Amino acid sequence: MPDRLILHPDAVARLMPLHLWLTPDGMIRQVGPTLQKLRPGIEMPGGEFDDLFDLRRPRDAGPIWRLGDGATMRVQLAFRGTSGTALKGLAIGLGKGRGVLINLSFGISVVDAVAQFGLTLGDFAATDLAVEMLYLVEAKTAVEAETRRLTQRLQLARIAAEEQAYTDTLTGLKNRRALQPVMARLLEQPAAFGVMHVDLDYFKEVNDTHGHAAGDHVLQQAAQILQQETRASDTVIRLGGDEFVLLLDGPMTMARMRAIAQRIIERLQEPIPFEGNLCRISASIGAALSSDYDHPEPEQLLHDADMALYASKRAGRARLSMANGQEQATAGWGTLG
């Protein structure tokens, strides 16, 4: 058995497509085919190592081509005059005037290098895991894109479900679940906001006389009127049955609430036609204004608006009462009999 392994330079090129063979005086003797591909315009063999390469690590190692027989050194190289692709590898002294062999690899910069230099599968050593790494990067990107799409779809579904959970199916208004979050939002604002509790008058009579289909129709019409007579920034909630709560965005004043309530009552009193019959309703309203309280609490405002609503009912319906005791006259609004 010979104690030395002798390789033909072509075999070295096949085994290590990214190798450099330096002469003992620092000239480039041979370059691996892939390494040569990275410098297409420059004929590397015959050139000076120092002219073409920049030894980045170790910085102060001295001339790398003087490595002694069998001595090794981990190195990091870059092409001189470029900031890009750094190659890393191992240099080994070949001894007896044979120079130094450096075997290189791309490391993590392989993804960019492949794109920049148009490398193919055959440009890598059979043992190089570069291709596996490219494969993984690409597979990971594809899977990530798929996961992102799933997350987006789930996000949209969540928003839709939430919207649905807060919606009253008969009228399309918000339901009582929306009360808490909207109140909380209004309380965070400095401006005074209004709470109006609206109860339809004579709704039970409509249901009893004309049936539930008529009742549902009347509720839908009433919901539409409530929405038309308020602004987009206000919230109209159907609490259930024929009870509604209006949360009126600030800045709100008593005078404005009075005007809104008057319009609502007037419009609700217009007879609603349904299957040849005319359904007649009106509304009793109780209102509270957040600026009437030192520390406005949602429960308190709702409770006081509710109390004011009952005051309106007791006073003969079709009217507005304020929680602070200023009961409004019904003069001119008309009442139903």
Closest CA to 305 of 218, 194, 214: 194
Site size toward other proteins, by CB under 8 A: 24
CB closer to other proteins out of 38 and 195: 38
Q: Is the CB of residue 84 less than 8 Å from the CB of residue 78?
A: yes
Among the candidate windows 58-66, 119-127, 179-187, 285-293, which touches other proteins by CB under 8 A?
A: 119-127
CA distance 268 to 222: 7
CB closer to other proteins out of 90 and 143: 143
First to last CA, the chain: 122
Q: Does residue 114 bind other proteins (CB under 8 A)?
A: yes
Active site residue 123: no
Q: Does residue 138 bind other proteins (CB under 8 A)?
A: yes
Q: Is the CB of residue 18 less than 8 Å from the CB of residue 104?
A: yes
In the complex, least distance from residue 153 CB atom to other proteins, rounded to whole angstroms: 8
Which tokens in the block code for residue 32? 């691996």
Residue 138: Cβ within 10 Å count: 11
Number of helices (H) and strands (E), helices first, in the chain? 10, 13
Q: Among 56, 74, 80, 140, indicate the residue that binds other proteins (CB under 8 A).
A: 140
CB closer to other proteins out of 141 and 253: 141
Q: Among 57, 153, 256, 314, indicate the residue that binds other proteins (CB under 8 A).
A: 153
AA letter at 60: D
Q: Does residue 161 bind other proteins (CB under 8 A)?
A: no
Q: Is the CB of residue 236 less than 8 Å from the CB of residue 251?
A: no
Among the candidate windows 30-38, 39-47, 117-125, 159-167, which touches other proteins by CB under 8 A?
A: 117-125
- Residue written as token pair 């990067």: 137
Among the candidate windows 95-103, 141-149, 203-211, 270-278, which touches other proteins by CB under 8 A?
A: 141-149
Q: Is the CB of residue 70 less than 8 Å from the CB of residue 95?
A: yes
Active-site annotation holder among 234, 242, 249, 304: 242
Question: Catalytic amino acids?
Answer: 242
Footprint of other proteins on this chain (CB under 8 A)? 111, 114-115, 118-122, 131, 134-136, 138-143, 145-147, 149-150, 153
